[in-house]
Amino acid sequence: MDMPVDRIEFETMLLGRHMSLLTSRGGGRLDRSAYILLSRIRAEGPMSIGQLRDAFGLDTSTLNRQTAAMLRVGVVERIPDPDGGIARKFAITAEGEHRLDKDRAENRDGLQRVLAEWTPEEAAQLADSLARLNRDIERLDGRPWPRD
């Protein structure tokens, strides 16, 4: 039996695959973890390993590896806590801002090509449904993503 949840699971699996196909795989693209971590740091401001752990539910060793790789390529820097705390925080650099903006623009361009024949209403409906799906996942997970 083809239940809606079966179709949703299948289509979201494909969406994850297809999103990477929408963009060029040329040099300079951020890897998926850097793209997501930089997006969160941009949304919330500088974050410590502990804050990133709480935000993503990842273990400290995973985050240490990911942030070390980001430091090596210059997309984040370690700074003293602006609020005076003991832990140093990761802040996005100008290079990180540039690369994140470039990747996000390329992602949007790919989506615009896909949605070229959709009506504005259809595109808005998809955006609303995806936002609701993500908010409900975040509610169950207990880790909401900051939104404007």
- Residue 29 pLDDT: 87
Angle at 101 between CA 73 and CA 94, to 5 degrees: 50
- Residue 2 pLDDT: 67
- Residue 142 pLDDT: 93
- Residue 119 pLDDT: 97
- Residue 67 pLDDT: 97
CB 66 within 8 A of CB 47: no
The pair of structure tokens assigned to 102 is 């470039």
CA distance 98 to 87: 26
Query: In which residue ranges of the chain is pLDDT below 70?
Result: 1-2, 24-27
- Residue 26 pLDDT: 65
In tens, the pLDDT along 7-33 reads: 999 998 998 888 877 776 666 789 989
For the chain, how many residues are written? Answer: 148
- Residue 16 pLDDT: 85
Sorted by where each starts, the structural domains of the chain and their CATH numbers stand as: 29-141 (1.10.10.10)
- Residue 56 pLDDT: 95
- Residue 1 pLDDT: 55
